[in-house]
Amino acid sequence: MKEKTPILIFFFFVSLNLYSQEWMKIYPDSLDTEIHTVREHYDKGYVFSGERYEGWSYYGFLMKTDVNGKVLWKKSYGIPLKMNQLCSSRVTPDGGLILTGSTNNLSTTCTDPLLIKLNSCGEKEWCKIYNAQGCNSWAKDVDLVDDSGYLMLLDRWKSGQEEMIWLFRLDNLGEVIWAQVYATDPGWNSELSHSILKTTDNCFVITGETYYPDPTYPNKKIIKIILIKVNLNGETIFEGPWGTDNGVYSKGYESVEDNQHNIYTASEHPRTSFPGGDSPCIFKTSSTGEPIDYFDLLTTSIKGISTTINWFQDSSLILGTKWGYSNGVDTIGVFKSNNMGTVLKSKSLITSLSGTLQSSDITFNNKVVIAGSFFSTNKWQAYAFKLTSDLEYDSVYTTP
């Protein structure tokens, strides 16, 4: 009789056996590296996406780390002397990734939107390049539509001034189901999108910006956040700038919603009252698209911007920000706020002459991992930070 071989089952878990260490990672390389998106992956590690520069070549870049930020592998995608940039990513139900970006593989003079599906090891399953009718078009963001494909946000699919912001509904292989243009009011100028938010009522909100003719400034257009909410068929639920006649300057980058469907946008607020300057700011909008209020996180900064926003489990907001008080180096940090804009805590992370925090994600155990790129020693370097909900550096896990 054949002897049975015992089966050993290994359970992988995140241990509570920790030791204290500041969770800040710098990912230097012989090539310039910019990180645009960070996502928690299926194994509680992280995937960072962006691009790497090598002379005139731009390569899409993907990096996988463990839960402590230790690099497990890195991959570059592209062709020498071509430009391939990755703007955003989402984790798919199979543990893979869907990534957006742009490429000039079809033309040496213009870029086209790019969509790539990878498996959990970063291996390409399929890739789509959408031959744009305009020049220098790119895919800015993407999100999942249940189990039936994706919604992709594009800029400049066509070259017309009223055809700047687009959504493509795609099937699971990236084929276009429908395409729809937004922000077509001829009174608006220089429309630009930044991100999309999947809402709890199964709709999507585009966050962007435009120059809008505010009547408080006769014969002048001022920059304003635009929010566009659409349903799964691409039909507009609401669309407009943040206030049509309130004289408030604003630039919006990323949004989240609360359980009442109000929208909170990480923003830059150019102040018009003394002493002037820009503030990192939160703009709050109702579920129907009406302005509610805005909350400056700093009121005396000369330069200031908030670029990322997430909810902690205690219903507080965590924002990635940058601010400065002179023409010298800027401070990169985070602010924790309630839903009325009251600052609960803040933390400075580093100082830098250039660069911003570009992406953040809330982890399975209510920590925030936040990443960006900063110019140092003649190249871009990627930085990542992991903080607790009290804005303390997370400790390092000593057991896989």
Q: What is the pLDDT of residue 120?
A: 92
- The pLDDT, as a whole number, for residue 30 is 63
pLDDT-wise least confident of 37-41, 146-150, 289-293: 146-150
Write the pLDDT tens digit of every residue in 341-354: 999 999 999 998 78
The mean of the pLDDT values for the chain is 91
pLDDT range class, residue 1, cuts 50, 70, 90:
very low
Instruction: Express each pLDDT in 153-174 by its tens digit.
Output: 999 999 877 789 999 999 999 9
pLDDT at 2: 40
Q: Is pLDDT at 13 greater than 90 in this prediction?
A: no
The pLDDT of residue 400: 67
The reported pTM is 0.92
According to the model, what pLDDT value does residue 9 have? 36
* 275 prior amide bond cis, ω within 30: yes
Q: What is the mean pLDDT of residues 59-68?
A: 95
Of residues 20 and 192, more confidently modeled: 192
Q: What is the mean pLDDT of residues 92-98?
A: 95
Percentage of the chain exceeding pLDDT 70? 94
Q: What percent of the chain has pLDDT over 90?
A: 79
Supply the pLDDT for residue 376: 79
Instruction: Give the pLDDT score at 159.
Output: 83
How large is the average pLDDT for residues 227-253?
96
pLDDT at 21: 61
